[in-house]
């Protein structure tokens, strides 16, 4: 593991924008702790076994292991080195037990076997090895290479805890959330310790978030391991010994979930069943967002807004970074720069812009500042082991930090957003919540936390601090905004953070390498349970040229979160900053995001309701094809659009792999056979995109912001296929929770073609009423000339062929069955 160092810097007084911009603060890593070889203790032979409901307890006479059936496909394992389990509490998993159906235990001479309907957990009597096998194929998916083990921690009490599994020769690994190297994790070692990793590079570790969840694939089948431990944790995927995969942590309990596949998609969906999915965001959050450190004073903000509208480049949100505050005091305004924020926000809103502002965890030590006074009086700030305040320097100078692991503190802090919400601020951006402290990197280990009443030092709470901060923001907004969906962004997080916020990948760099890193990072976050993610388009530090910025915008169209952001010491970075031809190409691609809005929104719904990831890497589409375990720069958005970002400077074409099936080139409508590689033209104004044959992709007219226009007719792009494909369209109010009372529409289209017919069936669920009456159908790739079209057995009187040779006709939105028949 490479040790990262940073230049320490003390921030003694209030930082000014100028000196921050000049020097760009050194964001520091905590040095990697040495792993001292202390004597390890291992589980011995099994001496007793006991069953309690869906839990089985095995003991070697001293240590105890609990095996708990969570569902047919998920089994949890816990270790108590001296027989006493810790409190069963997790920030990641709100409810452990799912639908527990039938399970039974049997034993033979060598081992116990606990079988659900789909998976069997074996516990070997002799050496306490635990393994999991598929009931149908008998394939052993995960198997201990040595018994679970531990080391006493003399300094803090408790144990360092370890698990070591066999790593199969052909096995590859994916997941772990926030890592910056290759998508496939095999042969590498990682650690999780949320870190402010300013200008990180390829393979720098750790980064901002902790997701101790990985997926293994071997013999064409997938499984997952979720090591739910918030302490600093480590994963080794065959690096130290290529036949072993290990995970361990500096404290806490050895507790992990085995999650059965056999498909990688099943594993991810089941991981979501434990840790939750992302809430449905307000629809405007899917638009293009423009950010910078910082837009101020308000004339600058107005200027940015005016430029977007005059240049006809769509945009939904403008961000205010730290300089909108008075001396970086959260929940205040710098009245010199923003004399009447409410008026400005209203003006922006009248032009269709949402205002998003930053809130950091560091609260300035200042007895004349109400937030500090309240927090101090209520004893809501973190304290050191001997009860002295935890103080550290961040943007405002000397700060104290709310203990967000205390539910009372979260309620208090969540309420502080009231005034900003009343002024019309529509979204909140929580930054620096690893938590980051200048100089020391983060809090010292001895800082105490409430940890929902279970208590713990910073060693235990560090990795959940950011998640609990944004939880406080999210919950506060849910109360303050009543029935309106909150929009929140966080930098740090732990597994489950997706229930409260979307994320961006932190302080990246304007380089081609970072375009590649970001592409992989968003896919990795997506399969690790954090689907709503994006990079700082253009790169935070450094200067992109027009080409790099445009290629980044193109990829950004298919980042679930699409936001351009840049550091204060860089040149202006808006979609028009590089002149022509870049401005026009940027416009074309941002417009594409808005044209695809009904599709993107439907994919978010599929995630929220069913737990499908939003971005799907090729390995997830075809895990049985080993080449796909190494292909990392293409993905699908949902399952209908294949995206092949252009990641090389000066490229005019790129190699793409099309998964099995048939694909239409999105730009030319050319039909290509999948299961093969192609060289596709990719001049600067193009990025290779493909639509899966059989898809129905809904399209809106270009809008300057979400909801600008009413849609009277919905354009449905139907891509002919000679096989059967289902598509979704989701619709609702766009920013309320009425969908929880069934006020939504989920439309399902089934498309099926043969050489003389194309059938489209529609089924509708939910009580929402669409704003349009008609569908405008555009059928691509029909292999026959059209004789007639029947909609619910009535013939369509008029149809035509457009300039791209696509069939066009209109029909009422309420049809159930549509048939296009050859002449």
Which residues belong to the active site?
431, 434, 507
For residue 665, the cross-strand partners are: 690
Whether 532 and 614 have beta carbons less than 8 Å apart is answered as yes
* DSSP string of 323-353, one letter each residue: GGSBTTBTT---TTT-S-HHHHHHHHHHTTP
Alpha-carbon distances, residue 677 vs 5, 624, 640, 778 (angstroms)? 42, 17, 18, 28
Rounded CA-CA distance 533/497 in Å is 12
Q: How far is the CB of 342 from ligand GLC (least distance, A)?
A: 23
Angle at 574 between CA 569 and CA 578, to 5 degrees: 95
Q: What are phi and psi of 107, to 5 degrees?
A: -145, 150
Whether 232 and 249 have beta carbons less than 8 Å apart is answered as yes
Whether 66 and 49 have beta carbons less than 8 Å apart is answered as no
Nearer to ligand GLC, 187 or 297 (CB): 297
Q: Which candidate, 449, 462, 367, places its Cα nearest to that of 402? A: 449
* Spatial strand order in the sheet of 745-753: 724-731, 745-753, 757-765, 817-822, 786-791, 794-795
Whether 643 and 558 have beta carbons less than 8 Å apart is answered as yes
Joined together, the tokens standing for residue 595 give: 């044209």
Angle at 252 between CA 247 and CA 256, to 5 degrees: 45
Nearer to ligand GLC, 297 or 766 (CB): 297
CB-based burial, 114-133: b 16+ in 10 Å, e otherwise: bbbebbbbbbbbebbbbbbb
Sort residue 694 into left (φ over 0), alpha (ψ -120 to 50) or beta: left
- Can you say whether the dihedral through the CA atoms of 695, 701, 703, 708 is positive or negative? negative
Nearer to ligand GLC, 198 or 666 (CB): 198
Nearer to ligand GLC, 298 or 321 (CB): 321
Q: Which candidate, 52, 584, 18, 55, places its Cα nearest to that of 313? A: 584
Q: Are strands 354-359 and 317-320 parallel, antiparallel or unpaired?
A: parallel
Joined together, the tokens standing for residue 746 give: 């989920």
Q: Which residues bind ligand GLC (CB under 6 A)?
A: 293, 321-322, 358, 431, 491, 506-507, 565
Nearer to ligand GLC, 191 or 570 (CB): 570
- Can you say whether the dihedral through the CA atoms of 77, 79, 84, 90 is positive or negative? negative
* DSSP string of 469-486, one letter each residue: HHHHHHHHHHHHTTTBPP
- Which DSSP helix (H) or strand (E) runs through 614? none
Rounded CA-CA distance 37/33 in Å is 12
């Amino acid at each position: 593991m490479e040790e990262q160092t940073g230049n320490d810097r003390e921030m003694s007084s209030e930082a000014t924008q100028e000196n921050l911009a000049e020097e760009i603060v050194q964001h520091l890593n905590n040095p990697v702790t040495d792993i001292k070889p202390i004597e390890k203790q291992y589980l011995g032979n099994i001496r007793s076994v006991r069953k309690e409901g869906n839990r089985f307890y095995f003991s070697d006479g001293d240590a105890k292991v609990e095996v708990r059936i969570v569902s047919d496909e998920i089994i949890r394992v816990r270790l108590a080195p001296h027989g006493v389990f810790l409190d069963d509490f997790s920030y990641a998993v709100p409810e452990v037990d799912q639908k527990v159906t039938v399970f039974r235990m049997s034993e033979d001479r060598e081992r116990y076997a606990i079988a659900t309907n789909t998976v069997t957990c074996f516990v070997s009597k002799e050496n306490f090895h635990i393994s999991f096998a598929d009931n149908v194929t008998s394939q052993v998916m995960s198997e201990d290479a040595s018994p679970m083990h531990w080391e006493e921690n003399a300094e803090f009490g408790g144990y360092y805890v370890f698990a070591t599994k066999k790593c199969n020769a052909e096995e590859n690994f994916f997941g772990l959330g926030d890592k910056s190297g290759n998508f496939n994790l095999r042969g590498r070692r990682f650690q999780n310790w949320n870190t402010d990793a300013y200008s990180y590079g390829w393979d720098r570790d750790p980064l901002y978030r902790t997701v101790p969840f990985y997926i293994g694939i071997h013999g064409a089948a997938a499984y997952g391991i979720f090591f739910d431990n918030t302490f600093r944790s480590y994963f080794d995927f065959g690096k130290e010994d290529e036949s072993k995969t290990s995970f361990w942590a500096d404290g806490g309990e050895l507790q992990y979930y085995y999650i059965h596949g056999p498909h990688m998609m099943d594993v991810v969906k089941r991981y979501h069943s434990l840790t939750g999915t992302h809430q449905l965001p307000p629809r405007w959050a899917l638009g293009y967002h423009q950010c910078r450190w910082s837009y101020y004073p308000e004339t600058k903000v107005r200027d940015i807004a005016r430029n977007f509208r005059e240049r006809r480049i769509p945009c939904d949100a403008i961000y205010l970074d730290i300089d909108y505050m008075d001396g970086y005091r959260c929940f205040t305004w710098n009245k010199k720069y923003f004399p009447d924020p409410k008026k400005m926000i209203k003006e922006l809103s009248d032009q269709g812009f949402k205002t998003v502002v930053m809130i950091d965890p560091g609260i300035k030590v200042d007895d004349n500042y109400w937030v500090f006074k309240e927090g101090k009086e209520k004893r809501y700030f973190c304290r050191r082991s001997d009860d002295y305040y935890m103080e550290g320097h961040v943007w405002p100078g000397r700060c104290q930090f709310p203990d967000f692991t205390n539910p009372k503190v979260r309620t208090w802090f969540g309420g502080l957003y009231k005034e900003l919400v009343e002024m019309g601020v529509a979204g909140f951006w929580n930054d620096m919540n690893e938590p980051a402290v200048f100089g020391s990197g983060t809090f010292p280990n001895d800082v105490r936390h409430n940890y929902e009443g279970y208590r713990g030092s910073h060693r235990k709470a560090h990795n959940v601090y950011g998640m609990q901060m944004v939880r406080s923001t999210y919950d506060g907004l849910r109360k303050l905004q009543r029935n309106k969906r909150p929009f929140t962004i966080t930098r740090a997080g732990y597994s489950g953070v997706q229930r409260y916020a979307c994320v961006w990948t932190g302080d990246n760099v304007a380089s081609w390498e970072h375009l590649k890193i970001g592409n992989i990072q968003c896919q990795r976050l997506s399969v690790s349970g954090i689907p709503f993610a994006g990079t700082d388009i253009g790169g935070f530090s450094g200067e992109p040229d027009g080409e790099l910025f445009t290629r980044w915008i193109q990829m950004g169209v298919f980042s679930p979160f699409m936001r351009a952001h840049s550091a204060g010491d860089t040149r202006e970075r808006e979609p028009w900053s590089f002149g022509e031809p870049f401005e026009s190409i940027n416009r074309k691609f941002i417009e594409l995001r808005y044209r695809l809005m009904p599709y993107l929104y439907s994919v978010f719904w599929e995630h929220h309701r069913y737990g499908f990831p939003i971005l799907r890497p090729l390995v997830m589409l075809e895990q049985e094809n080993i080449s796909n375990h190494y292909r990392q720069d293409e993905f699908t958005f949902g399952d209908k659009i294949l995206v092949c970002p252009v990641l090389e400077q000066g490229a005019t074409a790129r190699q793409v792999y099309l998964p099995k099936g048939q694909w239409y080139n999105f730009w030319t409508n050319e039909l290509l056979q999948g299961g093969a590689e192609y060289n596709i033209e990719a001049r600067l104004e193009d990025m290779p995109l493909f639509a899966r044959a059989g898809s129905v992709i809904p399209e809106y007219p270009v809008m300057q912001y979400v909801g600008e226009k009413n849609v009277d007719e919905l354009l449905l792009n139907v891509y002919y296929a000679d096989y059967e494909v289902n598509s979704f369209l989701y619709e609702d109010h766009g920013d309320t929770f009425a969908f929880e009372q069934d006020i939504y529409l989920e439309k399902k289209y089934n498309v099926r073609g043969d050489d003389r017919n194309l059938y489209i069936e529609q089924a509708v669920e939910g009580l929402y009423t669409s704003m349009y009456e008609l569908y405008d159908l555009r059928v691509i790739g029909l292999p026959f000339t059209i004789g007639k079209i029947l909609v619910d057995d009535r013939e369509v009187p008029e149809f035509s062929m457009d300039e791209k040779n696509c069939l066009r006709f209109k029909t009422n939105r309420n049809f159930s069955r549509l048939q296009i028949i050859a002449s």
